[in-house]
């Protein structure tokens, strides 16, 4: 069984987000980049599945050379090999198109992504890859099991869950619950240095969207503190001032 895990290089979850150049560039100064947390879940499940079914896990990233430490981290966690498509990830469409082209030439039984990246939160790459390959996709799964040529997945829905069976190959975006993330051990870290990391060039694709600028949320006013022994005051503030109850 061959699994492809699409990974993103994103700012660490503790990053304070700021912008430069008149709010047109994300300020990467001092920012630590990490493997997207949802992608770590996808990777962990892919490793578990291939351990059980004797297969391999390839990780793929669309990024410039600066993303290689994140790719090596994925190799240290247990991916078999890695591919980096050498380009700035312009948007989800650009990334999905590059990865779909790679899959057309190198077929996989299963393609996993995180449910979203924690920078642009689009949840788009999985569905776009699937549409480009004309195969099924399922967004935001909480459970994934493989049985022969098909899989059983649990998908999150408003107020509940849905259980589906899907024939391989398909694309899924993983969320919490699919697997516990794996911490690389020393042997993994050592072997990651020599595992194959193939760099390929991007293909050209029509641009459909551009990020023009950024905004930060308006700061809230000073908090109004209500004494713990006058909770009724809070209720009347919420009713009369905030008008939310």
Partner 1 sequence: MSVLVYTENADGKFKKSTFEIVSYARAIANQLGTKLTAISIGTVSAAELAALGKYGAEKVLNVSNDKLKNFINQAYASIIAEAAKKENADIVILSNSFSGRGLAPRLGVKLEAGVADGAVALPDLTDGNFRVKKTAFSGKAFAIVELTSVNKVISLTPNSYKVVEANSTASVEDFAAENKATDFAAVIKDIVRATDKVSLPDADIVVSGGRGLKGPENWGMVEELADLLGAALACSKPVSDAGWRPHSEHVGQTGIAISPNLYIAIGISGAIQHLAGVSSSKVIVVINKDAEAPFFKVADYGIVGDAFDVVPKLISAIKQFKASA
Q: Are 129 and 171 in contact (CB under 8 A)?
A: yes
Minimum CB separation of residue 138 from partner 1 in Å reads 7
Hey, which residues between 39 and 58 contact partner 1 (CB under 8 A)? Answer: none
**CB proximity list for 215: less than 8 A, separation 6 or greater:** 23
User: Positive or negative CA dihedral for 117, 120, 125, 126?
Assistant: positive
Hey, which residues between 155 and 214 contact partner 1 (CB under 8 A)? Answer: 155-167, 170, 175-177, 206-214
Hey, which residues between 132 and 161 contact partner 1 (CB under 8 A)? Answer: 132, 134-140, 142, 152, 155-161
Minimum CB separation of residue 133 from partner 1 in Å reads 10
Minimum CB separation of residue 86 from partner 1 in Å reads 23
Minimum CB separation of residue 3 from partner 1 in Å reads 18
Hey, which residues between 56 and 95 contact partner 1 (CB under 8 A)? Answer: 91-93
Looking at beta carbons only, is 67 or 94 nearer to partner 1? 94
If one counts every other C-beta atom within 10 angstroms of the C-beta of residue 63, the result is: 20
Give how far the C-alpha of residue 49 lies from the chain's centroid of Cα atoms, to the nearest Å: 19
**Which of 3, 5, 38, 60 touches partner 1 by CB under 8 A?**
38
For helices 68-77 and 37-53, give the axis angle rounded to 10 degrees: 40
Distance CA 172, CA 199 (A): 24
């Amino acid at each position: 069984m061959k699994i492809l895990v699409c990974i993103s290089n994103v700012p660490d979850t503790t990053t304070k987000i700021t912008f430069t150049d008149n709010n047109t560039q994300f300020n990467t100064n001092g920012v630590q980049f990490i493997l997207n947390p949802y992608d770590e879940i996808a990777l962990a499940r892919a490793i578990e599945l291939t351990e059980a079914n004797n297969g391999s896990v390839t990780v793929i990233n669309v990024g410039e050379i600066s993303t290689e430490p994140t790719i090596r981290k994925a190799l240290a966690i247990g991916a078999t090999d890695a591919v980096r498509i050498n380009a700035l990830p312009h948007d989800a469409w650009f990334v999905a198109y590059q990865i779909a082209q790679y899959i057309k030439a190198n077929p996989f039984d299963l393609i996993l992504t995180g449910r979203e990246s924690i920078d642009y939160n689009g949840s788009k790459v999985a569905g776009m890859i699937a549409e480009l390959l004309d195969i099924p996709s399922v967004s935001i799964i909480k459970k994934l099991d493989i049985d022969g040529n098909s899989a059983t997945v649990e998908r999150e829905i408003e107020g509940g869950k849905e259980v589906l069976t899907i024939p391989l190959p398909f694309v899924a975006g993983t969320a919490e619950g699919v697997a516990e993330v794996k911490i690389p051990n020393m042997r993994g870290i050592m072997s990651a240095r020599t595992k194959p990391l193939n760099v390929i060039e991007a293909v050209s694709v029509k641009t459909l969207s551009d990020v023009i600028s950024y905004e930060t949320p308006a700061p809230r006013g000073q908090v109004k503190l209500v004494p713990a022994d006058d909770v009724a005051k809070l209720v009347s503030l919420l009713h009369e001032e905030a008008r939310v109850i």
